[in-house]
Amino acid sequence: MITSFHPPQRTLMGPGPSDVNPRILEAMGRPTIGHLDPLFVKMMDEVKSLLQYAFQTKNELTIAVSAPGSAGMETCFVNLVEPGDTVIVCQNGVFGGRMKENVERCGATAVMVMDEWGTACDPKKLEAALQAHPEANTVAFVHAETSTGATTDVKAMCDMAHAYGCLAIVDAVTSVGGIELRVDDWGVDAIYSGTQKCLSCAPGISPVSFSPSAIVRVKNRKTKVQSWFLDLNLVMAYWGDGSTGTKRAYHHTAPVNGLYGLHEALVMLQDEGLEHAWTRHAFHHQALKAGLEALGLKFVVPEADRLPQLNAVSIPEGVDDALVRSILLNDYNLEIGAGLGVMAGKVWRIGLMGYACRKDNVLKCVSALDEVLNRLHAPVTQGKAIAATLAAYGA
């Protein structure tokens, strides 16, 4: 007979989901009310305002899509891209490839600008592609590439896109709340994120934001948005136009308790302060870096392009990737991530996101890796990692 499922208490330091703060879990356990209840609608307005803060934008069309980050990605593409369009996609990891898939499923042509995995997207390569394809009307790229741990200069890429008359779509699934992101100041036209990374919320909701220029394109489409569920013209009738007291039209049953969780996560981000959250991720990353390097592990991404919240390190020669991760999970209740795509079997991805980004987690991860790798006689340095980590903390 099947009985209730009771998961173990893991420490989640992979590429996501991250540890969920107990405050958020408590919020998600509050009584469910109707998705058109006036009190819930009021909370939705607060979520919009809090998301505007997290994105650093005044965009009115800033909402939470009732599905995970991949649906946020699709929301941007199906609303802004039409059959016959040309979209320049800059790829430096797995998720640029998913952008290509979205473009092609919209009936458009994807012009790929390729950069080496583990490096930032190159604005000069983008410019060359824009010059070669004057028919392009959209540029898409990833701010924080989860598959490699590399970050890209959003402002430089958006400036380049606008110089050639294109809108810019940005993947910020791993960046919101973890590193500096300023949607308005940097000229982002459409952006999407996820709740399960640096916001430390449960998976299942995707914050998105669209600039006035993007809204103009949505409203002037020649064809219907190919997805009924993700059609912004319909979704906005439920989320409202910003007018106080505006009656909401039924579109779908929102994930009520999931939105409680997102609301709480965003309140916590507001209370901490966005810039303080960015600083916290950078601070604990430096301690983790000190410990991993003392152990002998090498980072994949050059320091100037490296994400603090997603650390990709090369697996030492002769070490069984899956075995190490299995021991960490089963003996230490610690999850780290495997490599994706061309990096599968070559790197570990160690997340330091949101609630997981704290001193006890950093020490646990470094200590566990030290013990396991030395137990397996890996070519690493024994016994120095924790001291180096504590030294980075000033202890």
Which helix H or strand E contains 268, and what residues bound it?
helix 256-272
Q: How many domains does the chain have?
A: 2
Residue 181 is assigned to a structural domain of this protein: yes
Residues 209 and 287 in one domain: no
Q: Residue 66 has what pLDDT?
A: 96
CATH assignment of the domain containing 248: 3.40.640.10
Q: What is the mean pLDDT of each run of 10 residues along the chain (395 residues)?
A: 96 97 97 95 96 98 96 98 98 97 98 98 98 98 97 98 98 98 98 97 97 96 96 88 65 95 98 98 98 98 97 97 98 98 96 98 98 96 95 92
| Residue showing tokens 């979205």 | 102
Candidates 157, 154, 131; CA nearest to 144 is 154
Tokens of 155: 């402002």
Structural domain includes residue 5? no
Assigned domain for 6 exists: no
pLDDT for position 203: 97
203/336 same-domain check: no
From 210, 245, 270, give the residue that closes a domain. 270
Please tell me whether residues 86 and 101 are part of one structural domain: yes
Say how many C-beta atoms besides its own lie within 10 A of residue 32's C-beta. Answer: 11
Neighbouring-strand partners of residue 88:
111, 139
Neighbours of 35 (CB within 10 A): 19
Write down the pTM of the prediction: 0.96
Same domain, 262 and 122: yes
Same-domain check for residues 372 and 352: yes
Residues 167 and 313 reside in one and the same domain: no
Matching residue, tokens 């916590």: 268
Same domain as 124, residue 26:
yes
Domain boundary among 270, 293, 322: 270
Together in a domain, 325 and 355: yes
Q: Among 270, 292, 312, where does a domain finish?
A: 270
**Within-domain flag for 9:** no
Whether 81 and 170 share a structural domain: yes
Q: Please check whether residues 288 and 329 belong to one and the same domain.
A: yes
- 180 in a structural domain: yes
User: In this structure, what token pair is assigned to residue 41?
Assistant: 């609608």
Domain co-membership, 286 together with 264 = no
Asked if 181 and 298 sit in the same domain, the reply is no
Residue 86 lies in a domain: yes
Domain region containing 137: 22-270
Inside any domain, residue 137: yes
Q: Check which CATH number belongs to the domain holding 314 and give it.
A: 3.90.1150.10
Phi/psi of residue 391, nearest 5 degrees:
-65, -40
